[in-house]
């Protein structure tokens, strides 16, 4: 059995890295991933988000591997993730469901928020082969090398994705901070992150009042009838991002 352990620190906050983790597939640096589907999602009584995803990956057998033993170089992988917004940690376990006698890879990843506002990633992997025929050690070494190469590509994609997610996250966070939809502390914890994240100053459009829609000769009832219906947070955000065209 081959064992791999590594730690890595991201300069981005935990909220950004967590979002990038769930959005990492598909991406051009992981062309071996054919599909990624959520098969279950639930919230525990303690407030943690539990997600199970089924991922289909395609690989290539090495040239020295005996022909005809593995009919197809594809494997289903199950990913089980727990997101703890209070403790600001993400724990993920993955394992392959196919070709387990040839090689089984069990990976554990954990993302932790640091006091400096960064994110620490801890990765552990166990590669085990029960193939025999004098190829066990060679198969495990090949699997370890492939795992390291894929880890570097995924990490590089994380950095690129975080660059695009940071301004979007700051924009949405600023909107939600001023929205009444996040008065609930649980909602704020999920959507806004920790108080150490610095909000971005954004001026949101104010809700129209009855007085603004009154005419000089109208009544309160007439003014109320001309008021637009109350908008939810998503409608307000879309209206703010895409304001109506100005009249000439």
The model carries a pTM of 0.68
pLDDT the model gives residue 238: 52
The tens-digit pLDDT sequence of the chain (248 residues) is 999 999 999 999 999 899 889 988 887 777 889 999 999 999 999 999 999 999 999 988 888 888 878 877 899 999 999 999 999 999 999 999 999 999 999 999 999 999 999 999 999 999 999 988 889 999 999 999 999 988 888 888 888 888 888 887 777 777 666 655 555 555 555 554 554 554 333 343 444 443 443 344 444 444 434 444 444 545 555 555 555 665 55
pLDDT the model gives residue 204: 38
Helix (H) or strand (E) holding 240: helix 233-241
Domain ranges of the chain: 2-169, 180-241
Residue 126 CB: number of other CB atoms within 10 A? 17
| CA–CA gap between residue 44 and residue 85 (Å, rounded) | 12
| Pairing label, strands 2-10, 89-96 | unpaired
pLDDT the model gives residue 107: 97
What would the two tokens of residue 65 be? 């591997």
Instruction: Name the architecture of domain 2-169.
Output: 2-Layer Sandwich (3.30)
pLDDT the model gives residue 187: 52
- 96, β-bridge pairs: 77
CA 69 to chain centre: 36
């Amino acid at each position: 059995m081959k064992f791999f352990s590594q730690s890595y620190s991201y300069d981005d906050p935990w909220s950004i890295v967590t979002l990038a983790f769930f959005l990492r597939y598909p991406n051009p640096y992981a062309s071996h991933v054919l599909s990624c589907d959520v098969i279950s999602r639930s919230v525990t009584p303690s407030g943690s988000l539990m997600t199970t995803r089924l991922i289909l990956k395609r690989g290539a057998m090495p040239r020295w591997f005996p022909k005809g033993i593995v009919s197809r170089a594809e494997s289903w992988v199950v990913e089980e993730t727990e997101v703890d917004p209070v403790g600001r940690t993400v724990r993920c376990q993955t394992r392959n469901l196919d070709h387990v006698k040839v090689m089984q890879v069990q990976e554990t990843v954990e993302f932790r928020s640091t006091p400096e506002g960064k994110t620490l990633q801890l990765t552990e992997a166990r590669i085990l082969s029960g193939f025999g025929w004098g190829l066990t050690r060679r198969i495990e070494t090949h699997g370890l090398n492939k795992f390291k190469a894929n880890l570097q590509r995924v990490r590089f994609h994380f950095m690129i994705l975080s660059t695009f997610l940071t301004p979007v996250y700051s924009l949405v966070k600023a909107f939600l901070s001023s929205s009444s939809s996040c008065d609930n502390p649980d909602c704020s914890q999920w959507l806004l992150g920790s108080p150490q994240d610095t909000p971005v100053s954004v001026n949101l459009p104010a809700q129209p009042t009855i007085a603004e829609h009154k005419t000089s000769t109208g009544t309160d009832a007439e003014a109320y009838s001309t008021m637009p219906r109350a908008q939810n947070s998503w409608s307000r955000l879309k209206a703010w991002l895409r304001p109506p065209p100005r009249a000439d």
